Amino acid sequence: MLVGYVRVSKTDGSQITDLQRDALLATGVDPQHIYEDSASGKQDDRPGLAACLKALRGGDTLVVWKLDRLGRDLRHLVNTVHELTARGIGFRVLTGHGATIDTTTPSGKLVFGFFGALAEFERELIWLAPVLWSRRCESRINRYGWFVGTA
Residues forming the active site: 9
Please count the CA atoms within 13 angstroms of the CA of 151 that sit on its side-chain side: 9
Q: If DSSP codes are grouped into helix, strand and coil, which group holds residue 93?
A: strand
Measured between alpha carbons, how far apart are the two ends of the chain, in Å?
Answer: 56
DSSP string, 108-133: HHHHHHHHHHHHHHHHHHHHHHHHHH
Q: Is 102 helix (H, G, I), strand (E, B) or coil?
A: strand
Which residues are bridge partners to 5 per DSSP?
35, 64
Length reported for the chain: 151
Rg (CA), the chain: 21
